Amino acid sequence: MVSDPYLGKYTTCISARSTDREILKKAQDGGIATTLMVYALEEGIIDGVIVAGEGDLPWKPRPFVAMSRKDILKAQKAKYNISPQISWIKEATRSFGLDKVGVTGVCCQIQAVRKAQLYPINMRDVPGKIAFVVGLFCMENFLYDSIQAIVEDHTNQSLSSVKKMRIGKGKFQVYTERGNVATAPLQATHKYGQPGCYVCLDYVSNLGDISTGSVGSPDGWSTVFVRTRVGNDIWSKAVDAGLFETKPIEEVKPGLELVMKLAKIKLDGNRKTLEERRNFGVNKALRDPYA
């Protein structure tokens, strides 16, 4: 077990991608999140999972409880704006009647799940019914109007023509259905970030059973941290079942070094923001949720 102040606790870190062609076709990266949840559903490890599906506007996510492979696949791809995943966590155990709930989401949403498990405040039944949690890496998130401004103004594309968005190599990249690629420098997107993200102290979903992201692995592959006993159990069974191609993280470029570098940039930067909040006014501080 590794315990790292920036990358959290984990037993293994690998580079991986799904062997399921249908899933890979539409995956954001290696299709890890989707493949794991489909596997967990088919094995009876979960009986439903909260995912970020399509909303009522192009690229606006809508969280929902998926209970079939088909529905889990509807949530493929990263939507770079807020999807209040946890709003379904109690309902999943009520009208949906689930006993073993799966959750996907970014770091802060996984933190919310763990808080609900240890300090359930009006969250009856939730602590014991969380069965499997897959967290995504997350540098920051955007508001819907921000994503609209970035895509429509900065990259000059129509949101409804976009097939995929990616953040990488210092750029916000937009791929359209008809094959165009447009980018905006990441610098230009910073003013659009969700303010609450600037006090976030987690980059690689430290509290997931398994966490995954794109950074560190080549295009089409994912970096994966296997963390808890639940995560280890599911990961080893899924690999044995032939669901993933894997490579030791040490053998891929840019590898763990870049993950660590970005984690440091995020956490150190946000610690500084928290420090500044302590002297934000004159003899007045802004609130610190971690105090």
Partner 1 sequence: MEATKEAKPVANKIKLGHVHFSGCTGCLVSVADIYQGLLKILDDYADLVYALTLVDVRHIPEMDVALVEGSVCIQDRESVEDIKETRKKSRIVVALGSCATYGNITRFCRGGQHNQPQHESFLPIGDLIDVDVYIPGCPPSPELIRNVTVMAYLFLEGNEEQKALAGRYLKPLMALAKRGTTGCFCDLMNDVINQGLCIGCGTCAASCPVRAITHEFGKPQGDLNLCVKCGSCYGACPRSFFNFDVIPEFESISELIADALR
Q: For binding to partner 1 (CB under 8 A), which residues are involved?
A: 8-9, 60, 63, 81-91, 105, 108-109, 111-112, 114-124, 126-128, 141, 143-145, 194-201, 206-207, 228-229, 286-287, 289-290
CB 209 within 8 A of CB 234: yes
Shortest reach from residue 229's CB to partner 1, in Å? 7
Backbone angles phi, psi at 178, to 5 degrees: -90, 10
Tell me if 102 contacts ligand FAD by CB under 6 A: no
Region near ligand SF4 per CB under 6 A, out of 70-78, 92-100, 195-203, 235-243: 195-203
**Which member of 23, 78, 103, 108 binds ligand SF4 (CB under 6 A)?**
108
Instruction: Collapse the DSSP code of 101 into the 3-class scheme (helix H, G, I; strand E, B; otherwise coil) and give the result.
Output: strand
**Nearer Cβ to ligand FAD, position 79 or 157?**
79
Q: Is 106 in the site for ligand SF4 (CB under 6 A)?
A: yes
Residue 135 binding ligand FAD, by CB under 6 A: no
Interface characters, 55-94, with ligand SF4 (x: CB under 6 A):
-----------------------------x----------
Phi, psi for residue 101 in degrees, rounded to 5: -90, 135
Q: Helices 32-42 & 229-240, crossing angle to 10 degrees?
A: 90
Distance CA 19, CA 53 (A): 22
- In a 3-state reduction of DSSP, which class is residue 110? helix
Q: Is the dihedral of CA 53, 12, 139, 213 positive or negative?
A: negative
- The closest of 30, 62, 10, 7 to 214, measured between CA atoms, is 30
Footprint of ligand SF4 (CB under 6 A): 84, 106-108, 138, 140-141, 194, 196-197, 200
